[in-house]
Each structure stands twice: as C-alpha cells, then as structure tokens.
Amino acid sequence: RDFIKCDKQDDNAATRLFSAAILKHASGNPSENMGLIMYFFVFGEFVDSYQSRVMSHYNHATIVIRTLIFLEQWRLFLKKQDYLEHLHFISPASYNICQIMGNGLLALMIIHRDHLSKSCPLVPHEHGTHSCEHLYAEMRKLIPDFSMQQAILMAPKLAKLAKTTHQSSAKLSKASYSKSANGYQHAFLDDSVSDFDTKLLSQFPSDQQFSEIYQTASEECNTLWNLLGV
C-alpha cells in the first residue's frame, strides 16, 4: 500500500521508506541494490538535515550541499549519456523542492549568523508546514476527503482546539508511524527544551568553514558516484 494506490499525503510511507530498517535491508545485497542504497542515503540524510534536533549546523550544511551537488551531477550524467530526465531523474516538482529547501536552509544560516542576535538559535524543523499538517490531520479525522466548503465550516472548531492545545500540555493527534495510508504524521508539538541544544543551534559556520564544507561535500559526492560505477 506504500507504493500501489498510495495516499500521496501518507507521511508514514515516506518515513518507512527512509528508515534505517529499509536501508539495512537494501544493504544486504549491495551489488543489486547500490542505486537504492545511494538514493535512500542521500535523500534520507537530506530530510534529517531539517528534522534532526541534535545535529550541528556544520553538519546540516554538509548534507544540504552534498545533496545539491549530487542532484546536479546526476543531471549532468544523464545529459552526457543522452538519458531522458523524465525517465531517470526525480520529478521536476521534487527537484524544485530540493533546491528551495537546500538553498533556503543555507540562507537561514547566513541570515541568523549575520543579522540576528548571537543567542538566537536556528531550529530547522520549526521552519515548515507542521502546524498546517496538524490541522489537516484533525480535519481528515472528521471528514477523510473534505471539500473547501467543509474546511471553512470546520475552521472555528479547529481554531478553538489549536488554542486549547497550545495553552495546555495536551497534544493533537499523536503520530503513529506503523499505520498505512494514515495521512499526516508529525511531531510539531512534541518538542521540549530538552529536545535540542539551543547553544549548539546558535553556532553557524563562517565563510571559511562554508568553503571547507563545500570541498568535503564534493569529495563525498565523488565517492558516492564511484561506488555507483560512474
């Protein structure tokens, strides 16, 4: 169900696809699954660059730049070999999302470093649509396939629910990652001060370090392509 007639809003399917268990399973036969292993590794790490609560911004930047370089090298390889992108590359929408997310996170680091207070942390996982997804999840519990009119009619009730939740220790629907075709799953209100190190997330790479990061990411990318035999 994760692949056949899948729910395109099913976060659980995406979570399972990039889980350690799937990567371990694919790694059991590297000669046959090397392409899958690289795909799971590169894009799983890319998601972690936004979602991790404990990763430093130095590592965030390394992963993001490595992913962006990987995508451009992939496209260049297809062009040189006369392979069609629409058959052998991720979708244009996915590519644009990767570009926006990657460059956006790098830009946020520079903005925080150069223009905001030194004590102001950048918490990447809070820069997203999680709050909207919470509301969508609650709406889908009431009406699985709601219309725009129904969404408008549900708005007052959802507003009260969200306000009550933020003002108390209660949570909206709790994430359950084992269910199939279960729509949105999220951890937006699961954070506490202990979930991330604000001091660590207030430290940003210098321009010199960004140059070093680019060099490291480029070398790692070359290693990945060598493993793929390219």
HSE, side-chain direction, 13 A CA sphere, residue 195: 14
Task: Quote the CA–CA distance of 155 and 159 in Å, as a whole number.
Answer: 6
Identify whether residues 98 and 190 lie together within a single domain: no
Judge whether 203 lies within some domain. Answer: yes
How many C-beta atoms lie closer than 10 Å to residue 205's C-beta?
A: 21
> 92 and 71: one domain?
yes
Whether pLDDT at 156 is above 80:
yes
The CA-atom distances, in angstroms, between 52 and each of 5, 102, 228 are: 30, 15, 27
Residues 66 and 33 reside in one and the same domain: yes
**pLDDT at residue number 167:** 58
Same structural domain for residues 73 and 23?
Answer: yes
What mean pLDDT do residues 170-197 have?
Answer: 53
DSSP single-letter state for residue 122: -
Cα 99 to Cα 68: distance, rounded to the nearest angstrom: 7
In this structure, of 33-42, 85-94, 132-141, the range with the lowest mean pLDDT score is 132-141
Any domain includes 40: yes
- Record the pTM: 0.77
What pLDDT does residue 179 have? 54
140 band by pLDDT with thresholds 50, 70 and 90:
confident
Residue 74, pLDDT > 80, answer yes
Q: Are residues 112 and 222 in the same domain?
A: yes
Residue 3 falls inside a structural domain: no
Q: Is residue 136 part of a domain?
A: yes
Tally of structural domains, the chain = 2
Are 92 and 132 contained in the same domain?
Answer: no
On whether both 57 and 159 belong to a single domain, the answer is no
In-domain check, residue 230: yes
Domain that holds residue 153: 127-195
**Model confidence band, residue 18 (pLDDT cutoffs 50, 70, 90):** confident
Please indicate, yes or no, whether residues 78 and 57 belong to a single structural domain of this protein: yes
Q: State the pLDDT at residue 31.
A: 87
Percent of the chain with pLDDT over 90: 48
